Amino acid sequence: MDKEESFCNSTCEDQINMAERELSAFIRAVTELFGPEQAKRSTQDWFDEFDLIDCPPRSTDRDWRAVTVAASARLANRLTVAQASHIRLPGCCKDLSVFHARSSRRSGRDGVALREPAT
């Protein structure tokens, strides 16, 4: 095995490990906040966004966080549409204020809680 091939294999392994860590952290957070059904859908969103990355296949510089941000935007859109339409998403938390309260604590900001309309 020459140095170039060894470097390529090492770089590929590093990219796979970084992608796995990024996806794992994202799905763990979605599962905790919104439940397993949204986590499943968000996993597919993450892979769809990965496919859309404009990056050469053998690139050593992939921005995995950008994939997660794009998948998060899809999740936020799905939740916003559901809330505006008064649709309860399967597997999603019943009260979106849970998400807002947790995110406010993390960011140190106070704000108006998102609440599901009373039925």
Query: Domain-by-domain residue ranges, the chain?
Result: 3-107
Sign of the CA dihedral running 78, 79, 80, 86: positive
* pLDDT digit string, tens, across residues 13-37: 888 999 999 999 999 999 999 999 9
Residue 60's pLDDT band, with cuts at 50, 70 and 90, is low
Better pLDDT: 40 or 9:
40
The two most distant CA atoms of the chain are separated, in Å, by 67
Distance CA 20, CA 1 (A): 26
pLDDT digits (tens, 9 = 90+) for 86-103: 766 665 655 555 555 555
The mean per-residue pLDDT over the stretch 66-72 comes to 96
Judged against a pLDDT cut of 90, whether residue 9 lies above it is answered with: no
Please name the residue that has the structure tokens 């899809």: 74
Residue 52 phi, psi dihedral angles, 5° rounding: -90, -5
Locate 50 and state its tokens.
């990965």
- Which of the 8 DSSP states describes residue 58? T
pTM: 0.64
Listed residue (49, 74, 75, 78) closest to 64, CA to CA: 49
Please say whether the beta carbons of 11 and 67 come within 8 A.
Answer: no
